[in-house]
Structure 1
Amino acid sequence: MLEKEKEALAKRIAGEITLSADPGKTMRKWREIFGVSQTELADYLGVSSSVISDYEGGRRKSPGASTIRKFVEALIHIDEKRGGNVIRAFSKTIGSDLPTDAILDMREFALPVTIKELVDAIKGEIVANLDLMDRKLYGYTVVDSIHAILEMSSEDFLKLYGWTTERALIFTKVTTGRSPMIAIRVQGMKPAVVVLHGVKKLDELAVKISERERVPLIVSHIENEDALISSLRRLVEKKEKEV
């Protein structure tokens, strides 16, 4: 299954860990992206969960090449057993050619942020699924909703997720929010959170879809697109300094 994609993803993970100033934090980031618990990973590797915890907490020396290889293989194997969702999400980014007018910004976080941190950064108001504010995000994509509707195919839409669905999809020039939420429901792959910017009157159907799909919905009240993107990039820079 997706052999080239698996190899590319494995190289990316191993490279990030090897080059990271804090390999343990990077290992934790990728473990959480794959949705694997410390216990599950430890069982697969045949070690105690405290070993995983010690690596992630920096209490063990930086992992060697053999340890990194086993770590990466474990994540990919576990994902395959679950249906390969992370591998498939990553494969969507390979050779992607998205309409440049539709994508305003697309970044990954060096360390995960919570939805609450995102809300604070963009003057957001959460209108559905308040109980999921602690959900972790590993990136964001800012989309011009008008260009997206006019230019993007269904396949293009899936590429908005980058290498993980655990991200914020942020739609600008939104009038009611109905179209973005319908698109997400139809596509099947769900982001960790949806942000709407420019809303004039929020559609009740958008809220109902958000609640049904368990995808938190945020309305950003920040002044304009430039201010929105600037605030998001400051959040990226903040996380880079924490690494």
Structure 2
Amino acid sequence: MLEKEKKILAKRIAGEIVLSPDPGKTMRKWREIFGISQSELAEYLGVSSSVISDYEGGRRKSPGASTIRKFVEALLEIDEKRGGNVIRAFSRTLGGDIPTSAILDIREFNIPVTVKDIVNAVKGEIVANPDLIDRKIYGYTIVDSIQAILEMSAEEFLKLYGWTTERALVFTKVTTGRSPMIAIRVQGLKPAMVVLHGVKRLDELAIKIAEKERVPLVVSKAESESELIMGLRKLVGAF
């Protein structure tokens, strides 16, 4: 099942761990993306949970090639036994074209950041669900809201999530915020947070939907789209 996608995803995970300045945190990020507990992974690998914890906490030296290979294989095999949801989500990003005019930037974080980090990066104000300020974010997608509404089908909209919904969806050229939040409500898949840029008057319905869906809603005060994009890229370390 999805052998090509598995191989590509395996190389991506392994490459991120090898190149990461903190391999343990990157391993933890991927384990959490797959929704696998430390104990479940440890049992599958035939080691104690403390071994996994030590790697993720940086208390063991950086894992070697053999350890990384076993780690990646375990994630993929466990996901396959569960139905392959993460692998399938990743495969959706490989097939079909997303309208380039709608997507301004899409990236994944090597190490997870928090809602608070995103708020600071976009010069934002959190207007719904401030209690979720420490929620982990694994990536972001910046969308031209006007082009997305005009051009994107329901299937293409789902591709905004990349390989995980635990990301920030950032909408630019927003007037009230109502349309992006209704689109999220209708699609059924919830991002980890939503950022609105260009808001002139925030619609109360947008806030109510965010509160109902338990999605942190942030209004960015960045002066331009360029400033918004550069702020987020600094979190990735890409310019």
TM-score of the aligned structures, taking structure 2 as reference length: 0.90
Provide, for residues 63-104 of structure 1, a one-character-per-residue CA deviation record: whole Å limited to 9, x for no partner: 344432331232223334544332222112103411111111
* Distance in 1 of aligned mates of 2:105 and 2:19: 25
Decide whether the 8 Å contact of 1:89 with 1:165 is kept in 2.
no
* Distance in 1 of aligned mates of 2:185 and 2:192: 13
Decide whether the 8 Å contact of 2:25 with 2:56 is kept in 1.
yes
Cα RMSD after superposing both structures: 2.0
Count of paired positions:
238
What's 1:171 paired with?
171
Residue pairs, 1:16-95, within 5 angstroms: 16-95=16-95
Decide whether the 8 Å contact of 2:140 with 2:168 is kept in 1.
yes
Instruction: Return the letter of the residue paired with 1:120.
Output: N
Instruction: Return the letter of the residue paired with 2:161.
Output: Y
* Distance in 2 of aligned mates of 1:211 and 1:80: 34
What's 2:214 paired with?
214
Decide whether the 8 Å contact of 2:16 with 2:110 is kept in 1.
no
Unaligned runs of 5+ in 1: none
What's 2:144 paired with?
144
What's 2:229 paired with?
229
TM-score of the aligned structures, taking structure 1 as reference length: 0.89
Residue pairs, 1:55-204, within 5 angstroms: 55-204=55-204
Decide whether the 8 Å contact of 2:114 with 2:135 is kept in 1.
yes
Decide whether the 8 Å contact of 1:116 with 1:134 is kept in 2.
yes
In structure 2, do the counterparts of structure 1 residues 82 and 176 end up closer, same or farther at CA, with 3 Å as the change threshold? farther
Alignment identity in percent? Answer: 80
* Distance in 2 of aligned mates of 1:83 and 1:190: 20
- More divergent stretch after superposition (79-88 vs 120-129): 79-88
In structure 2, do the counterparts of structure 1 residues 113 and 153 end up closer, same or farther at CA, with 3 Å as the change threshold? same
* Distance in 2 of aligned mates of 1:82 and 1:218: 34
Unaligned runs of 5+ in 2: none
* Distance in 2 of aligned mates of 1:230 and 1:18: 26
* Distance in 1 of aligned mates of 2:233 and 2:16: 20
Decide whether the 8 Å contact of 2:20 with 2:110 is kept in 1.
no
Offset, 1:3 = 3.6
Decide whether the 8 Å contact of 1:96 with 1:159 is kept in 2.
no
